[in-house]
Amino acid sequence: MACLFFAAALCAVAQGLNPAALLKPPTNTWPTYNGDYSGRRYSTLKQINSSNIGSLAPAWAFQEHAVPLKCTPLEVNGILYLSAPDNVWAVDARTGREIWHFNRPSQGDHLASRGVAMYKDRLYFGTPDAHLICLDARSGKAIWDKQIADVKFGYYLALAPLVVKDKIIIGTSGDSSDVRHFLEALNPETGKIIWRWYTTPAPGTPAARTWPNTQALLHGGGPAWLTGTYDPELNLIYWGTGNPHPVLAGTGRAGANLYTCTIVALNADTGKLVWYYQTSPHDTHDWDSVETPVLFDADFHGKPRKLLAQAARNGYFFLLDRTDGQHLLTAPFVPTDWALRINAKGQPIPNPKMEPQPDGSVVEAGPEGATNWNAPSFDPQTGLFYVNGHVGYSAFYLRLGPNGDPQGHQGGAVTPLVSHAFLEAIDYRTGKIRWKRCEEDVSGHPGILTTAGHLLITADVSGNILALDPATGKTLWHRYAGGPMNSSPMTYVLDGRQYILTAVDRMLYAWALP
């Protein structure tokens, strides 16, 4: 009898997620947005590999009947957890059958929900009206619901929260009014705030001098659109911040505008800033630096390093030492002409002539920059960093009111001219492009997964799910799945069988060997 009780208790724990398990990279499961803390989206699984990929077949499909999926599902102990704005689903990872569905209609921006986070037997989910909801993972019933920020100012939560030890870490999104954004750590049991870090500096501090005045700083933007990464050894979380506000008009915010368009390293326990690196000082093109700061350990110039790499929306690839933020490499990964030069710190400095102008300024860049929220991947077997994005041309207009102030939150407008999609493999040591695939006149946001099976899983923006040779870019397998994959693939093993999941429109497809 005691034995039975013990077994039952073990089972209850085993169905949930012990946060300590995240400190070592998981192998068979996908328990966080990026699969593990590194943000590499590289899986050690290799049952599905380059020699048997030809026989990959659909295992099941789940249709959610709501809105297109832009999330990465979690997989923990045989259950998938996925989200869309206002919605969370628990799905049987073996069969694709729905276990429960949580729905909470809300006001606010319904652009995206990138996923959920799990802590013990609870899930955490951000909403379009900037609430964080704690759900019972067994039933999908809400345990608590906490307002994080004011939806009337356009705040919402798009990112998948990140669990670090005994904290839930989130950040605010929003693109409709000039506000100050922040990252925040909460107690997973109670929702109580443990720390908050604003993405623009405290008035009166040295960094505040990168703004002309306190009002500009307090409405300076810097949203956190995506989930950050974490190094347990250094106890640092790494987050990319978004663009300054007003978006396209820099006239009222002379200066570098810290800490917008910046990669920041914060102490996970205190939320204190340890180092920062600004990828786009004084941005006026809406080129966030929120793209995943990917962590890996590798040689650079013959020396082993703890590295951080980011392919930023401004078109530049950055390599830093993540212990102290030391800059190692800046290299453009697309042709672009908005920067005048690269300064001594490796930062691209904007060319004032290429900033938005009342008569229009034509810039070599797609309307949303070189890349966006779709996940990149780093494959330690090839040493290559993979990113999907766009090249092209856009006309940037500056809109000023009668008194010379920026008109509205955007402060301008963009006419997209031409936009071509690409997938690139970047050599992290040099920034050189090792291989590239292109598609003309189309756009989309497929993310990337690499695996120890010598596979790169992604989709082209025409809707073909792809398995490529990560060393060469050669197509090994492809299937048209009925719509665009504007999400990032993930993988797990269940009952000894490896599954690869791709969310296409409102469908979640599981692929496996027959």
Partner 1 sequence: MLAELAGWLGAAQEPGRQIFEQNCSVCHGADANGGAEGPSLIRSALVRHDEKGNLIAPVIRNGREGKGMPSFSLSEQQIADVVMFLHAQVEASDNTSARLPSKDYALKLLLTGNAAAGKKYFFGRGGCSHCHSPTGDLAHIAKKYAPVDLQGRFLYPSGAAKTATVSLASGKTASGTLVYLDAFTVAIRKSNGWYHSWPRASVKVEIYDPLAAHRALLHQYTQADIHNLFAYLETLQ
Binding site for partner 1 (CB under 8 A): 150, 152-154, 176-178, 219, 247-248, 286, 353, 357-362, 364, 367, 393, 395, 397, 399, 401-403, 405, 407-410, 412-418, 437, 439-440, 460, 462-464, 475, 478
| Torsional sign, CA 353, 355, 361, 366 | positive
C-beta of 201: minimal distance to partner 1 in Å?
19
Query: For residue 513, which phi and psi values (nearest 5 degrees)?
Result: -75, 150
DSSP state of 229: E
Instruction: Say how many residues make up the chain.
Output: 514
Number of other residues whose CB lies within 10 A of the CB of residue 153: 15
Measured from the CB atom, the residue of 154 and 281 that comes closer to partner 1 is 154
d(CA 187, CA 339) in angstroms, rounded, equals 42
- Tokens at 505, concatenated: 């429109």
d(CA 74, CA 164) in angstroms, rounded, equals 16
- Are 425 and 437 a contacting pair, CB within 8 Å? no
- Are 453 and 45 a contacting pair, CB within 8 Å? yes
d(CA 377, CA 294) in angstroms, rounded, equals 8
- Are 366 and 355 a contacting pair, CB within 8 Å? no
Q: Which residues contact 381 (CB under 8 A, 6 or more apart)?
A: 450, 452, 454, 470
C-beta of 459: minimal distance to partner 1 in Å?
11
C-beta of 338: minimal distance to partner 1 in Å?
12
d(CA 69, CA 128) in angstroms, rounded, equals 15
Is 286 labeled as catalytic in the residue annotation? Answer: yes
C-beta of 462: minimal distance to partner 1 in Å?
4
C-beta of 488: minimal distance to partner 1 in Å?
20
Measured from the CB atom, the residue of 51 and 403 that comes closer to partner 1 is 403
Measured from the CB atom, the residue of 11 and 203 that comes closer to partner 1 is 203
Beta-strand runs (E) in 115-227: 117-119, 122-126, 131-136, 142-147, 162-164, 167-171, 182-186, 193-198
C-beta of 434: minimal distance to partner 1 in Å?
19
d(CA 420, CA 185) in angstroms, rounded, equals 39
Measured from the CB atom, the residue of 108 and 447 that comes closer to partner 1 is 108
- Are 388 and 297 a contacting pair, CB within 8 Å? no
Measured from the CB atom, the residue of 41 and 479 that comes closer to partner 1 is 479
C-beta of 424: minimal distance to partner 1 in Å?
15
Q: CA 29 → CA 123, 269, 491, distances in Å?
A: 16, 26, 7
- Tokens at 244, concatenated: 């300054």
Measured from the CB atom, the residue of 86 and 368 that comes closer to partner 1 is 368
Measured from the CB atom, the residue of 257 and 361 that comes closer to partner 1 is 361
- Are 291 and 313 a contacting pair, CB within 8 Å? yes
C-beta of 229: minimal distance to partner 1 in Å?
29
Q: Which of 286, 288, 379, 505 is catalytic?
A: 286
Measured from the CB atom, the residue of 110 and 437 that comes closer to partner 1 is 437
C-beta of 106: minimal distance to partner 1 in Å?
16
What DSSP assignment string belongs to 435-504? Answer: EEEEETT-------EEETTTEEEEE-TTSEEEEE-TTT--EEEEEE-SS---S--EEEEETTEEEEEEEE
Measured from the CB atom, the residue of 232 and 416 that comes closer to partner 1 is 416
Residues forming the active site: 286
